[in-house]
Amino acid sequence: MVEKQGQLSAGVDLSYPKGDETRACASLVVLSFPELQVLYEDCRMVAVSTPYVAGFLAFREVPVLVEAVRRLQQEEPALQPQVLLVDGNGLLHPRGFGVACHLGVLTGLPCIGVAKNLLQVDGLVKDELHREQIRSLRREGDTFPLTGSSGSVLGMVLRSSKNSSRPLYISVGHKVCLETAVRVVRSCCRYRIPEPIRQADIRSREYIRKQLCSPLEAASSGPQSSDKEAEPGD
| Predicted local distance difference test score (pLDDT) of residue 233 | 31
How far is residue 117's CA from residue 182's CA, in Å, rounded to a whole number?
16
CATH numeric code, 8-220 = 3.30.2170.10
- The model's pTM is 0.89
| Predicted local distance difference test score (pLDDT) of residue 6 | 76
Q: How far is CA 25 from the centre of its chain?
A: 15
| Predicted local distance difference test score (pLDDT) of residue 224 | 41
| Predicted local distance difference test score (pLDDT) of residue 19 | 87
Q: Nearest 5°: phi and psi at 113? A: -90, 130
| Predicted local distance difference test score (pLDDT) of residue 225 | 42
| 52-70: b (≥16 Cβ within 10 Å) or e | beeeebbebbbbbbbebbe
Q: How many CB atoms lie within 10 A of CB 165?
A: 12
Low-confidence ranges of the chain (pLDDT < 70): 1-5, 213-234
pLDDT tens digits, one per residue of 56-115 = 889 999 999 999 999 999 999 999 999 999 999 999 999 999 999 999 999 999 999 999
